[in-house]
Copies of this chain bind each other. A is one copy, B any other.
Amino acid sequence: MHEDDIIARAAQFPLQHKLLLGIGDDAAVLAPQALPLVWTVDTLVENTHFLRAMPAAEIGWKALAVNLSDLAAMGATPLAALLSLSLPADLDPAWLQSFWQGLEAACTRYHVALAGGDSVRAREIQISLSLLGHSTRPVTRSGAKAGDLLVVSGAFGGAAAGLHCFKQGLDQPGLLRRHWHPLPRFEVAAALSQGCQQLAMLDTSDGLARSLQVLCEANALGCEVEGPLIPVEAGLAELAEAAVVRDWVLNGGEDFELLAAVDPAAAHWISTDPQLQIIGHLTQQTRQLIRYPDEVIELNGRDWGYQHFGDGALV
A residues sitting closer than 8 Å to B (CB atoms) are 1-3, 20-21, 24-45, 47-49, 70-71, 73-74, 76, 80, 82-84, 86-87, 89, 115-124, 126, 128, 130-133, 135, 138, 140-141, 202-203, 218, 307-310, 313
Most buried by B among A27, A70, A74: A27
Q: Given that A86-B45, A308-B120 are contacting pairs, would A38 and B32 also be in contact in the complex, using a CB cutoff of 8 Å?
A: no
Contacts of A82 in B (CB 8 A): 39-41, 130
Q: Given that A2-B307, A20-B138, A45-B120 are contacting pairs, would A132 and B28 also be in contact in the complex, using a CB cutoff of 8 Å?
A: no
Q: How far is the CB of A107 from chain B (nearest CB, A)?
A: 16
Q: How far is the CB of A47 from chain B (nearest CB, A)?
A: 7
Contacts of A21 in B (CB 8 A): 138, 140
What is the oligomeric copy number?
2
Complex-state Cα separation, A62 to B73, whole angstroms? 33
Complex-state Cα separation, A1 to B80, whole angstroms? 32
Contacts of A203 in B (CB 8 A): 26
Q: What are 29 A-B contacts defined by CB distance under 8 Å?
A: A3-B307, A20-B36, A24-B141, A25-B141, A27-B38, A27-B70, A27-B76, A28-B38, A28-B39, A29-B39, A29-B135, A32-B35, A39-B115, A41-B82, A42-B84, A43-B84, A43-B118, A43-B120, A43-B128, A45-B122, A48-B120, A48-B121, A82-B130, A84-B84, A87-B309, A119-B308, A121-B313, A130-B130, A132-B132
Complex-state Cα separation, A271 to B217, whole angstroms? 60
Contact of A128 among B76, B128, B310 (CB under 8 A): B128
Q: How far is the CB of A280 from chain B (nearest CB, A)?
A: 21
Q: Given that A82-B41, A132-B39 are contacting pairs, would A29 and B138 also be in contact in the complex, using a CB cutoff of 8 Å?
A: yes
Contacts of A124 in B (CB 8 A): 122-124
Contact of A33 among B27, B33, B80, B87 (CB under 8 A): B33
Q: How far is the CB of A114 from chain B (nearest CB, A)?
A: 12
Contact of A41 among B49, B76, B84, B121 (CB under 8 A): B84
Assess the B309–A121 pair: CB atoms within 8 A: yes
Q: How far is the CB of A298 from chain B (nearest CB, A)?
A: 19
Assess the B123–A123 pair: CB atoms within 8 A: yes
Rank and list the top 3 A-B pairs by shortest CB-CB distance, nearest first. Answer: A27-B40, A130-B130, A26-B70
Contacts of A38 in B (CB 8 A): 27-29
Considering only CB atoms, which chain B residue lies closest to A38 in the complex? B27
Contacts of A218 in B (CB 8 A): 24
Assess the A309–B1 pair: CB atoms within 8 A: yes
Contacts of A71 in B (CB 8 A): 26-27
Q: How far is the CB of A88 from chain B (nearest CB, A)?
A: 10
